[in-house]
Amino acid sequence: MFPPSPPTLPTPPTSPSPPTPPSSRSLRGADRLGPAQAHRRAADGQAVLLDVREEDEWDAGHAPGALHLPLSRLKAGAALPAAARGKPVVAVCRSGHRSQEAAELLAGRGIEATDVAGGMTAWAREGLPVTGGSGGSGVIA
């Protein structure tokens, strides 16, 4: 036969864990903005529109008033342009994938950030303004 098991000691009561603070921004579904919402926020000065596409895409066409910082540079540790510091950021790219990545990266740095669902393709489809590198009408590349 086996020897008797030692008595089980009572587990000390534990205090509930403090709630985990949410990350700066969760970018799932409802947190992303539609192009018209992003345009309004940028036009009203509530946020800065940050285009994270590469230089050739930016030159072909971008939202008027947007700032430019390619995702590749952001991932390499580049700081936000001075005009975007201390303000909420709405990232935009061509289709919405890179901008979502940029917004998550910025949120990880403690910056209030979201992005444009559908990117500049959806922006142009909704008839919102697009300007080119020469100041004329632009195209989404």
pLDDT band for 114, please (50, 70, 90 cuts). very high
pLDDT tier at 19, thresholds 50, 70, 90 = very low
Q: Is the pLDDT of residue 63 over 90?
A: yes
What length does the chain have?
A: 141
pLDDT of amino acid 6:
55
Beta bridge partners of 50: 67, 91
60 part of the active site: no
Between CA 124 and CA 91 the distance in angstroms is 16
Cα–Cα distance measured from residue 112 to residue 115, given in angstroms and rounded to the nearest whole number: 11
Closest CA to 42 of 33, 31, 53, 52: 33
How many Å apart are CA 86 and CA 112, to the nearest integer? 9
Query: What does pLDDT average to over the chain?
Result: 85
- C-alpha to C-alpha distance for 120 and 62, rounded to whole angstroms: 8
Catalytic residue among 27, 47, 93, 103: 93
